[in-house]
Structure 1
């Protein structure tokens, strides 16, 4: 008895289907990376002798997206969230892949409190009192430099008030 073989056109469809599937997966990864905000305005901040290059998220949509979908961030970079007026600010890590530390910052640049945040965790991390600014950095950045609540940040946003 001879086995029945599918026509040659049927055998060549599997590699095509695999190629389509791999292409769709690559597109999904590219779309996730496209969701990351990479081109916001930047401001230079200082924490003592340490320089920070922070992207500025000021518009509601920019603040809402924040550092979502980022896979990496250089150690000297962060994101400064700027709100219209001081209020209790709460942050979570939905769609955020990097472990971060949020510094809740008063108008004069004083760090009110710090919160370490885990990737993809939707727990709220809030300021201890009303603030206008929140600076997110890679987790451990503040600790490695001995910066705690009460430390002062410098730079244009804090000297303008």
Structure 2
């Protein structure tokens, strides 16, 4: 009897794993990626943060470092389109850097983004030209840069106020 119960439990586990794999494959097909490495698999609180570099905010007044964070980098069309969608949380020491090939007016939205963000638009000289603070989660409202930007930095909402990051401050980043 014990063997039978153990086999039934094992069968249930295999069936559940099979269903989860099928759901993951269907999700992967939806996002145009054939396979997802185990380290990048979504967790209960959304996709797992993947450190790809560091970014520092630099004071326009003194030239000193205000704060340094770990960043994920979005530089392909697919990565920029996905951004921080489906994230349920992010540490204060993390953010995302979007890199565009040329400066132009940008506009972001919060569709499928569950955490409130500060969105900092940065020109080709690495200077912050505008900030959209406390962006509303899941909103489809357009959040424009109002000026040409080649880079965009997203952090948790309140980051700009907490660390006094402002227009005219600069960024510097390194890729890993």
TM-score (norm 2): 0.67
Query: Which of 87, 102, 122 is 2:119 aligned to?
Result: 102
Query: Which of 43, 53, 57 is 1:43 aligned to?
Result: 53
User: Aligned residue for 1:133?
Assistant: 151
User: Aligned residue for 1:72?
Assistant: 89
Contact 1:70 1:97 in 2 (8 A): yes
Task: Compare CA radii of gyration and give the structure with the larger one.
Answer: 1
**After TM superposition, what 4+ stretches of structure 1 lie above 4 angstroms from structure 2?**
none
Contact 1:40 1:57 in 2 (8 A): no
**Is 1:152 paired with 2:160?**
no
Could you tell me how far 1:37 is from its partner in structure 2?
4.7
Could you tell me how far 1:49 is from its partner in structure 2?
3.6
User: Aligned residue for 1:63?
Assistant: 80
Gaps of 5+ in 1: 1-19
Write 1 or 2 for the structure with the bigger share of strand. 2
Give, in whole Å, the separation in 2 of the partners of 1:115 and 1:104: 8
RMSD: 2.6
TM-score (norm 1): 0.73
Q: What SS does the corresponding residue of 2:146 show, helix, strand or coil? A: coil
Query: Which of 152, 158, 161 is 1:143 aligned to?
Result: 161
Residue-pair matches, total = 132
